[in-house]
Amino acid sequence: MGVAAFGLLPLPRRAARGDSQDWNPRFLCITAAHNEASVIVPHVENMVGMDYPRDLYDVVVLADNCTDETAELAQGAGAQVWVRRDPDRRGKGYALEWALQRDLQNYDAVCVFDADNLADTSFLSVMALHLREGKQIIQAYLDTKNPWDTWITASYAIAYWYMNRFWQKARMRLGLSGALGGTGFCVATPVLQRLPWTSHSLTEDLEYTVRAVTEGLSVYWTPLTKVYDEKPVAFSSTITQRSRWLQGHWSVAFDHSPALLRKLLSESSRGSRLKILDLLVYLWQPVVILATGLDILVLELRVALGRGWYSHWLGAIMPHGIWLGLIALGFGLPLIAVNLEDVDWRAVLYLPAFYLFNLSWIPIAWIGLLKRRDRAWHHTEHHRAISVVQRPAYRRRTSV
């Protein structure tokens, strides 16, 4: 929470490398798609319509174990299509590994998207700007294209606005590493050659972030361009999706923390040690969710049974004042984020639903912990086939 406060400050001034101002990098834009016929056409049309020289980027749809018309529709909309058939190795991580094993020497960087995404047409121009500045792994501002469909999508949207402001931006302000968000990111080709994409967990983005930080690299987050994805409209769908996220989060924490700890103990640079320590804290943040759930459960038992034993053992772990402070921040920071991100007033009406939505993370965190070794991949269906100009507006004014 202390780190989050730095999200209130402006980002430090960027410094471009003087010898690279005229360099326009060549991009490979790749989208992993499994049975995405309902949304692939507007996505490809969005990609081929970037505000960037068309001869300097290729748009590729990776049709991964598709049984519908995804490949044909993507090709008809203007994308190259790479077809992958491997039913035993399912999931985005395996698909990207397969695609990125190809010779990438004709590209300066690779940009990764999901089939339901819409991106600002400035996306490649902004990525080129940051590559010129010397950034090597760049994550765009992640947002949602359907914030007002249901209280579920509104809750996701508020979570995005909060995370961009108080997680990603705060870390940029402190010189720490951001985190990849699964889509809307760019990786320089030399980094992929040094650190190949071999991340197969259910949260392959987090896994690659950890591997990058372990190797002394950082993720740079930019608010200058945005990528919008589709969020589930039904609560039942979120259970499956978020359980998968927590399964992946727990597995990455257990599998990669030892390497991070070894790096932390051997690293001589204070800045690098802080990046590693911050990432370790983030990896084990679900423990706080579990402790919060335990706190709520024991509090209810104390009220029901009229016992006084609650504060004697749980209070020793963390004093009540700290618990109350965390609760106050948990309620206050999303409200501040909604205001600072210039979000439509409707978001304030959805805040009670957002707080209720957050409580549902407690059982999901337990499910993820218990099933962390289950790496079966489950497809999230998408249906919002809209263009970037049809995306619902939600800001009071245009801002970055």
Domain limits, the chain: 24-231, 256-370
Given a cut of 70, is residue 364 above it in pLDDT?
yes
**What is the spatial distance between Cα 235 and Cα 360, in angstroms, rounded to a whole number?**
10
In the chain, the amino acid numbered 249 is H
pLDDT tens column, 120-148: 999 999 999 999 999 999 999 999 999 99
- DSSP bridge pairs for 185: 112, 139
Q: At a CB cut-off of 8 Å and minimum separation 6, what does 170 contact?
A: 3, 4, 5, 6, 7
Mean pLDDT of all residues in 247-254: 95
Q: Cβ–Cβ contacts within 10 Å for residue 353, how many?
A: 15
The DSSP bridge pattern shows strands 118-119 and 220-229 to be antiparallel
**What is the spatial distance between Cα 38 and Cα 391, in angstroms, rounded to a whole number?**
16
> Which tokens belong to 60?
């590729």
Burial of 121 (C-beta count, 10 Å sphere; 0-12/13-18/19+)? middle
**What is the spatial distance between Cα 27 and Cα 111, in angstroms, rounded to a whole number?**
7
Q: What is the pTM of this model?
A: 0.90
* Closest C-alpha to 348, from 337, 357, 358, 335: 335
- For residue 68, CA distances in Å to 35, 72, 73, 94 come to 6, 9, 10, 20
Contact 179, 209 (CB under 8 A): yes
pLDDT tens column, 375-394: 776 667 766 666 666 666 66
**CA trace torsion 41, 70, 236, 229 (10° rounding):** -40
**Summary mean pLDDT of the chain:** 88
DSSP H or E run through 137? strand 137-144
Position 79 scores a pLDDT of: 97
Mean pLDDT of all residues in 344-358: 91
Q: Cβ–Cβ contacts within 10 Å for residue 236, how many?
A: 8
pLDDT tens column, 71-123: 999 999 999 999 999 988 888 889 999 999 988 999 999 999 999 999 999 99
Burial of 54 (C-beta count, 10 Å sphere; 0-12/13-18/19+)? exposed
* Closest C-alpha to 163, from 349, 283, 343, 337: 337
Q: Cβ–Cβ contacts within 10 Å for residue 159, how many?
A: 17
CATH H-level superfamily of 24-231: Spore Coat Polysaccharide Biosynthesis Protein SpsA; Chain A (3.90.550.10)
**What is the spatial distance between Cα 287 and Cα 281, in angstroms, rounded to a whole number?**
10
- For residue 193, CA distances in Å to 29, 32, 149, 259, 324 come to 17, 20, 41, 21, 47
Lowest-confidence pick of 156-160, 169-173, 238-242: 238-242
Task: Give the strand order in the sheet containing 118-119.
Answer: 80-84, 57-64, 27-33, 109-114, 185-188, 137-144, 220-229, 118-119
